[in-house]
Amino acid sequence: MSRTRLFSPVPLSANTDVMLGGDQARYIGRVLRLKPGDGFTIFDGKGGEYPATVATVSKSQVQINIAAIIEQNAESPLSIHLLQGVSRGERMDFVVQKATELGVQRITPVLTEFSVVKLDSKRAEKRVQHWSNIAISACEQCGRNILPIIDAPQPLRNWIGDNLASANTRILLRPDADISLGSATKPEGTVTLLIGPEGGFSDAEYEQAEIAGFRAARFGPRILRTETAAIAAIAVLQSLHGDLG
């Protein structure tokens, strides 16, 4: 049986006692039904993880004993920054979850000319929190101890305008590209992977991306859904240049 892994919003340190409240306490006490003396693993998203033991359980709080840190590292040697066109509901949730499991270090949701999702500042803030919770759950499941960065959604043209110069590798999936993703040269530094939303990119956006240093690559003979394209491309990059090979 696998050992339960939980994220702590409270910074952790070795050989200390920590009091957890809110959702974490309810999950430990009411969902997992852990009792004093039960053990699990906890991490705070900054690297490493800690064996922990439940000390006391109440309706609103759980006190745990933290042991020495275990320097467990499940991060990929390939740094991937995913620029993902925002898609509807569960599609975007799926991308965030699977990209986290596959080792992506940063996710920036972008809004494009053909985006079907419209977000005001209040909705955007709620979505970021929602996506962050999905990433946390994915880290708990897959063994990562460092949380990916989830940026606030922004128009693609704004991101490009703020990030014109880069020495890193930039890749844009495009069905009619001259080269395939698998034949692209080995990345230098961080790979920024740009994936369009359900409606794809406009000609102007393709042009803006090219000016910003994105190299177009195709991904087989079939046109993939946005969530399929993102996860498949990440898996290929991790297999060729990361830690899935």
Query: Which residues, other chains included, contact 174 with Cβ-Cβ below 8 Å and sequence gap of 6+?
Result: 201, 206, 216, 217, 218
Instruction: Assess if residue 75 is contained within a domain.
Output: no
137 and 196 belong to one structural domain:
yes
177 and 225 belong to one structural domain:
yes
Instruction: Assess if residue 195 is contained within a domain.
Output: yes
CATH number, domain with residue 170:
3.40.1280.10
CA distance 181 to 188: 15
Amino acid at site 63: Q
Q: Number of folded domains in the chain?
A: 2
Instruction: Assess if residue 177 is contained within a domain.
Output: yes
Q: Tell me what pLDDT residue 62 has.
A: 94
CA distance 50 to 201: 44
Among 41, 66, 91, identify where a domain stops.
Answer: 66
Instruction: Assess if residue 72 is contained within a domain.
Output: no
> Which residue matches tokens 């530094």?
189
114 and 155 belong to one structural domain:
yes
Q: What is the pLDDT of residues 16-64, one digit of tens each?
A: 999 999 888 999 999 999 999 999 999 999 999 999 999 999 988 999 9
Query: Which residues, other chains included, contact 227 with Cβ-Cβ below 8 Å and sequence gap of 6+?
Result: 87, 91, 92, 94, 95
CA distance 182 to 223: 16
Q: Which two tokens stand for residue 134?
A: 């999905």
CA angle 14, 55, 41 (to 5 degrees): 50
Q: Tell me what pLDDT residue 96 has.
A: 98
pLDDT value at 184 more than 80: no
Among 15, 39, 66, identify where a domain stops.
Answer: 66
Among 66, 90, 106, identify where a domain stops.
Answer: 66
| Residues facing 40 on adjacent strands | 52
Whole-Å CA distances, 72 to 49, 114, 143, 145, 170 = 7, 42, 9, 8, 30
Instruction: Assess if residue 74 is contained within a domain.
Output: no
108 and 224 belong to one structural domain:
yes
Instruction: Assess if residue 73 is contained within a domain.
Output: no
CA distance 234 to 97: 13
For the full predicted model, state whether its pTM sits above 0.85. Answer: yes
101 and 57 belong to one structural domain:
no
128 and 191 belong to one structural domain:
yes
Whole-Å CA distances, 166 to 7, 16, 109, 213 = 33, 43, 19, 8
Q: What is the pLDDT of residues 80-126, one digit of tens each?
A: 999 999 988 799 999 999 999 999 999 999 999 988 777 888 888 99
> Which residue matches tokens 């393709």?
206
Q: Which domain holds residue 163?
A: 80-241
220 and 145 belong to one structural domain:
yes
Q: Is the dihedral of CA 108, 23, 41, 8 positive or negative?
A: positive
Instruction: Assess if residue 157 is contained within a domain.
Output: yes
Q: What is the pLDDT of residues 206-238, one digit of tens each?
A: 999 999 999 999 988 888 999 999 999 999 999
215 and 162 belong to one structural domain:
yes
The DSSP output letter for 223 is: P
CATH number, domain with residue 12:
2.40.240.20
55 and 111 belong to one structural domain:
no
